[in-house]
Amino acid sequence: MNCSDSSTDSSVTLRDFEEPLLSLAKGISGTEHMDAESFQVNVLSTCDIDPTNNNSAAQTNTNVVKIRSSFQDYQQLCDTFSQAYKLGQMNQAMAIANQAKGIKDALDEHFGDMRIDMGKNKAVQEQILQMQQKVEENQKQMMDMQHKMKENQKVMMKMQQQSLDRLVIIQNRVQAVLTQTYELHEYPIPRLFIILPKPMRLRDHLRKLFSNHFRLYFLCECGKHTEPDGCNSQHQVHLAKHEGYDIEQPTAFFNKYGPYILTLMEMFKYGITTAKVIVPTLSSLKLVEGVEAIKDNIDHTTKSIPSLVDEAIAFLESQLDNVSNIDAYSNPIKLGKTEAIEGADLRQLESYLRIKDEARVLGNLYRTVTTEGHVKWVCFDHYRETYKEVAMEQLRDIVAMNGGMFTDVIGKIEINITSRTLAKQFYDAMVKARWIQELDIALGWDATMDDLRKFSAAVTRANIIHLTVDGTSLTGPVSDAVNRGRRYDPIIELMSNGRIQFLRIKNFAKFANRVSRFSATKAPQLHILWIDSDIDFVEKGSKSVIERILDNSPHLVELKLNQLSRRTFYKLMTRITPPFSLNYDPWKSVWRSEYINFTSRVADHHYPVRDSLLRALPRHRRKLRKLHLDGTSVDAWFSDIAKALATRQEFPMLEYFDLSLTAIPKSYIPWLATFISHPVQDPSESFSKARMSVKFKPLKRICLHSIQLEHENWVTVIGAIDFSSIEELYFDYSNFSLELFGILIRSMPENAGNNLAIPLKILNIEITGVRGQGDTFEYLAGCLRKKAPFVKINYTNF
């Protein structure tokens, strides 16, 4: 055999198996550098061995073959190791590394044999030693990489868990938004919308025009409520077919709606499925089926919809991070805020949008009402699927024939019917259409009680929820004289049909005198009642009618009575017991479910009015839900109030307690602590069985505004709070301190019962001794969010 030929054909370089490791190491560290020296291993032939020992030469060649085979296996494992690492298959990579270690152990054994055989050949022995050293170095490098892989794996697992935690909290927030229900009077415009960046022109970049950078798009709220009978496909939330809106006053807009929009953007990206609503993930084509309508206003040529959504989310998160009183969204613990939107805020949304066509409804969406009475805004396609188009056309024609107005996008009709024949024709068409939610109707003929019964039946069958009825023409026909004292009973009975939420009774002459005492029944859905008709409250019958209505309207939040004087109001308030708390507005004569306001202005009024208020408070105590006490001179009225509010047991329905007072005498601290705590019913107490059966509602909101208390008094008050139900705590403008912040957190249990988190949503400690900075504050805030993950902390950061 020719030795030189043999050495040329059989050489193997370490670079063949070092380069994958080098690439892998660089991928892990990003900065480390490993030298890959070329080192040749010459396969030995018999000319390198002592010719007198042929057996030894044969054994040596056998070992060389084994070494070469091991090198080849080592090289393949390195390639496989590199591929597994790049694909993120960490478990497989670790298994390959263990196999490589086994090969290294085998090579060590072969090297030992070679050293024995090559004892007489120093040149070959040096090559073997160098080769062994190189394998040791490579093995050490692989072990280092294994260690780094394990560390990376821990980091990845931690990040994965954080992502899962974040996703769960996002899902909870989205669920809270989707399950929030609005009544008709609270929901004048669509509530689901997102923002997307629009293409920036050169002058926009130069000006950095904030408002031109984003555009608002509404979503169609389709779902179970829009699926026709027998429909096999599910209706899913999607973009409305509308070009969207530019945003006016963007800074104020994002400050007001930023957290809410971020929740909707995350819903748009990740999707969610509930019992009644399906929002597909962003990867689903159905979600962006309205993209054709918006593509001219987004940068769709260079960016995909997902990338635009990510850009919008990143922007919103950066905006929130820049606002001190809104928790950053980067930390999963801080994601717990349930950012819903109130009806009043929703009504203001339109003022921030640049609307070109004032006659069009926002987003080309149509308002619908579910069988539960909840409002949804859907696109025309889903609206058309839900309601019969032929019946709608017939209804439009009848309304036009009677000179009325039909606003189909919100399902509202305004009409004056002048005869019972036309009324029957209108009722039939309205019932068939099934789409009308608001009806403003004038009964333009002298209708009898039987006519009013037919009207009431049609309104009920048509599922009207917002009704205004004008009885100007109802003077009382002679033929209906027998029903004179109960002629308007059908109007009162409408309240109990299970659908009516808003009822306005206009211009019904001597209304209370023509309602029987048997007419008022339970009105389970009635929220707002306006009686713009003559009612003489001096008469006993009038007072009795109002009292029966209030007793049968457990969910009434607003009652408007026309032409009510201040004196009459106080007389009425002290004689009847409405099922809700009262707020008197002498200019509007409205009772609302807000607060009883004993402000210093009222309390310091002349004594007859003040005494009337104090007499009214005990009378309404059993149905009082919200109480606001506000004043400056504690001696002038606080002692009287404390006597009127002697025990919490006397106010079983109270949920909101607000106290704004600079100084509270120490003697009243036990009273305050007892009043804000959840009452403990003792059967030995001298309550009647009826009172003992009352289910007490715990407080949801406690506001101690501008309070200045001694430290030990603060501790007493904090210890009295029932954290199983409290949702809002306000200690703003008080001497509440960082130490008290810690005491407050320690007073909270680990959970609120049934393994549920504490329901606290708002903690307002603005303008107090707590500053929103420093390690101690951050630590305490983190502890609070562990116990109350949905809390939003409002604080002063300076």
SS3 278: strand
Residue 317 tokens read as 């998160």
Q: Are 74 and 17 in contact (CB under 8 A)?
A: yes
Pairing label, strands 238-239, 214-220: antiparallel
Q: Which homologous superfamily is 387-593 in?
A: Ribonuclease Inhibitor (3.80.10.10)
Q: Is the pLDDT of residue 677 over 70?
A: yes
Residue among 72, 81, 68, 80 at smallest CA distance from 42: 68
- Give residues with Cβ within 8 angstroms of 69, minimum separation 6: none
- Give residues with Cβ within 8 angstroms of 358, minimum separation 6: none
CA pseudo-torsion sign 675, 681, 686, 688: positive
- Give residues with Cβ within 8 angstroms of 250, minimum separation 6: 210, 211, 214
The residues spanned by each domain of the chain are 3-160, 180-368, 387-593
Helix (H) or strand (E) holding 764: strand 762-765
Q: For 21-35, 44-58, 773-787, which range has the lowest pLDDT when averaged over its residues?
A: 21-35
The tens digit of pLDDT for each residue in 322-360 reads: 544 344 444 433 434 445 566 667 778 888 888 776 556
Helix (H) or strand (E) holding 375: strand 375-378
Residue 73 tokens read as 């296996």
Q: Is the pLDDT of residue 5 over 50?
A: no
Query: What pLDDT sits at residue 422?
Result: 93
Pairing label, strands 366-369, 375-378: antiparallel
The tens digit of pLDDT for each residue in 99-144 reads: 877 777 777 776 666 655 555 566 666 766 776 676 677 667 667 7
Q: What is the mean pLDDT of residues 539-564?
A: 74
Please give the Cα distance from 515 to 449 (Å, whole number).
11
Q: What DSSP character marks residue 506?
A: E
Q: Are 502 and 412 in contact (CB under 8 A)?
A: no
Query: What pLDDT sits at residue 326?
Result: 42
Main-chain dihedrals φ then ψ at residue 291, nearest 5 degrees = -65, -25
Residue 700 tokens read as 């949801």
pLDDT band at 753 (very low <50, low <70, confident <90, very high): low
Helix (H) or strand (E) holding 224: none
Please give the Cα distance from 466 to 489 (Å, whole number).
19
Per-residue exposure over 678-693, b if at least 16 CB sit within 10 Å of its own CB, e if not: bbeeeeeeeeeeeeee
Please give the Cα distance from 341 to 336 (Å, whole number).
16
pLDDT band at 470 (very low <50, low <70, confident <90, very high): very high
Query: What pLDDT sits at residue 459?
Result: 94
Counting every residue written for the chain, the total comes to 798
Q: Is the pLDDT of residue 466 over 90?
A: yes
Q: How many CA atoms lie within 13 A of 601 on its CB side?
A: 1
Task: Determine the longest span between alpha carbons in the chain, in angstroms.
Answer: 145
Helix ranges, 378-448 (H)? 380-386, 389-401, 420-433
Pairing label, strands 272-273, 412-417: unpaired
CB burial of residue 652 (10 Å; 0-12, 13-18, 19+): middle
Q: Are 528 and 502 in contact (CB under 8 A)?
A: yes
Q: Are 195 and 312 in contact (CB under 8 A)?
A: yes
Three-state SS annotation for 515-560 = CCCCCCCCCCCCCEEEEECCCCCCCHHHHHHHHHHHHCCCCCCEEE
Please give the Cα distance from 798 to 795 (Å, whole number).
10
Residue among 110, 109, 108 at smallest CA distance from 133: 108
Q: What percent of the chain has pLDDT over 90?
A: 14
- Tell me which amino acid residue 741 is: F
- Tell me which amino acid residue 601 is: R
The tens digit of pLDDT for each residue in 63-82 reads: 666 666 776 777 677 777 76
The tens digit of pLDDT for each residue in 591-648 reads: 554 333 333 233 333 344 455 556 666 666 676 778 777 765 555 566 777 777 777 7
Q: Are 383 and 368 in contact (CB under 8 A)?
A: yes
Helix (H) or strand (E) holding 216: strand 214-220
Please give the Cα distance from 681 to 695 (Å, whole number).
10
Please, what is the average pLDDT of the chain? 71
- Give residues with Cβ within 8 angstroms of 132, minimum separation 6: 107, 108, 111
pTM check: above 0.85 = no
Please give the Cα distance from 658 to 730 (Å, whole number).
9
- Give residues with Cβ within 8 angstroms of 553, minimum separation 6: 495, 523, 526, 529, 579
Q: Is the pLDDT of residue 480 over 80?
A: no
Query: Long-range contacts: 611-618, Cβ < 8 Å, 24+?
Result: 612/570, 612/573, 612/574, 613/570, 614/640, 614/641, 614/644, 615/574, 616/570, 616/573, 616/574, 616/582, 617/641, 617/644, 617/645, 618/644, 618/650
SS3 194: strand
Strand partners for 215? 196, 246
Query: Long-range contacts: 567-574, Cβ < 8 Å, 24+?
Result: 568/537, 570/609, 570/612, 570/613, 570/616, 571/537, 572/537, 572/543, 572/546, 573/612, 573/616, 574/612, 574/615, 574/616, 574/619
The tens digit of pLDDT for each residue in 397-440 reads: 899 999 999 988 788 999 999 999 999 999 999 988 877 889 99
Helices H, strands E: what count in the chain? 26, 26
SS3 322: coil
CB burial of residue 666 (10 Å; 0-12, 13-18, 19+): exposed
Q: How far is CA 681 from the centre of its chain?
A: 36
Please give the Cα distance from 779 to 494 (Å, whole number).
57
The tens digit of pLDDT for each residue in 157-196 reads: 777 676 666 667 776 767 666 666 666 556 678 888 988 8
Give whole-number Cα distances, 581 to 346, 559, 593, 598, in Å. 25, 11, 5, 12
Query: What pLDDT sits at residue 715?
Result: 94
Please give the Cα distance from 244 to 354 (Å, whole number).
10
